[in-house]
Structure 1
Amino acid sequence: MKARVIRNEDLVRVPWKNGGGTTAEVAAFPEGSSLETFGWRVSMADVASDGPFSVFPGIDRTLIVIEGHGIELDVEGIAYPLDGASPKLSFSGDDMTMGRLLSGPIRDLNVMTRRGQFRHRTRFVEAGVALLADETCIAFLVALDGPFDVTLDSTVHSLQVLDILVLEGMHDLILLSGTGRAILVEIAPDASS
């Protein structure tokens, strides 16, 4: 299994064209792909103001609030508040989506997969053992609150808040220890295509 840590402070944040925030790409496939050509993409965004989301035809998206008080997403006229109680929403990139901050800026984790090529799932995990799906081709573990250690083949990878562990060439089980929570993102080929 290949594993590498991406430190939060090493992410390069790029301002949005509309000035409403910044985005830091964590990883994309194929490497060097554009927003029009990626098969999958994982990024973090700092949202500083209300406004429309970019439309991504043919893309399935999941947005998870990881810092701040939350955001309300209006997806095709239906409002979804994302906050501490319910911080996650999966939706189609085809849909017209507006964001309204609930109380100040937020940081979110974005996972996007191109329909017919890849699919993804996200879940919150705590200390213990996480079982990865057999078809997972790459996974990301994002530490949310407090230090988090991941043991793989007797090597311990220590994560601080918002550090990311990238896992390729999967084992079924990964051993997690720490006092906080993390987000586990799994990306797999889309078998329906």
Structure 2
Amino acid sequence: MKLLRASDHKRMPWKNGGGETVEIAVSPDGAGLADFDWRVSMATVASDGPFSVFPGIDRTLSILEGEGMTLFIEGRKPERLTQASDPLPFAADAPTSATLIDGTITDLNVMTRRGRLTHSVLRISVDGLGEFAFGEETTLVLCHRGSAEIDGMVLDAGDCLLVSNTDAARRTISGKAQLFQITIAAI
């Protein structure tokens, strides 16, 4: 298990130059926007406009802060995405644009290389003591709000725990937090 502190996340420009993203984790280590296997990031979106296109990539978006946005994904009905919405999966190579509902938002963006990996994103609330089961897949646990402790590792807002498949086990979790569980599996 590896703790990724919010203060250590990498800041970089969007692929289309329209803003800035905060890269939480990428595989392989040091991979760029053209050659990653998987990538987890957050972005602040301050204006309406097109999304960057990533050929051969599947992505899932979740709203972390703000009122949300309406996504216009080619071939689909418009999708309204808010903090209360389930994470939304779609192809990152489908032309996509967004209209903000009411001001700036921050989103969580998870991407995996199609045909090699799949991913899922779940929003989880923790209030007290419990257990967390990590399987054979790579799992990231992002603390969005509050604070949680997993087997002695404290996650504050923005921190992320990276759990590799060699760390598969049941772990004790405590605290009061909103978390995102990101599971990445090989096909």
Q: Normalising by the residue count of structure 2, what TM-score does the alignment of the two structures yield? A: 0.88
Q: How many angstroms does 1:10 deviate by? A: 2.5
Distance 1:93 1:19 in 2: 16
1:29-51 CA distance string (max 9 Å, x none) = 22222222111111111111111
* Structure 1 segment 106-145 matched on structure 2, within 5 A: 106-127=105-126, 128-134=130-136, 136=137, 138-145=138-145
In 1, are the aligned partners of 2:57 and 2:93 still within 8 Å (CA)? yes
Structure 1, unpaired ranges of 5+: none
1:139-174 CA distance string (max 9 Å, x none) = 1111121111111xxxx1111112111112232323
Local SS of the residue matching 2:83: coil
1:78: which partner in 2?
77
1:170: which partner in 2?
167
2:178 paired residue among 178, 181, 193: 181
Distance 2:18 2:100 in 1: 11
Q: How many angstroms does 1:125 deviate by? A: 2.0
* Structure 1 segment 1-193 matched on structure 2, within 5 A: 3-16=1-14, 20-76=18-74, 78-127=77-126, 128-134=130-136, 136=137, 138-151=138-151, 156-168=152-164, 169-190=166-187
Distance 1:180 1:72 in 2: 27
Distance 2:54 2:16 in 1: 17
Local SS of the residue matching 1:112: strand
Distance 2:170 2:182 in 1: 14
Identity within the alignment, % = 41
Distance 2:26 2:3 in 1: 15
In 2, are the aligned partners of 1:126 and 1:176 still within 8 Å (CA)? no
User: Could you say what the CA RMSD is over the residues aligned between the two structures, in angstroms?
Assistant: 1.8
Greater per-residue strand proportion: 2
Distance 1:94 1:19 in 2: 17
Aligned residues: 182
Distance 1:178 1:104 in 2: 31
1:106-148 CA distance string (max 9 Å, x none) = 11111111111111111122332233343x0x21111121111
Local SS of the residue matching 2:78: strand
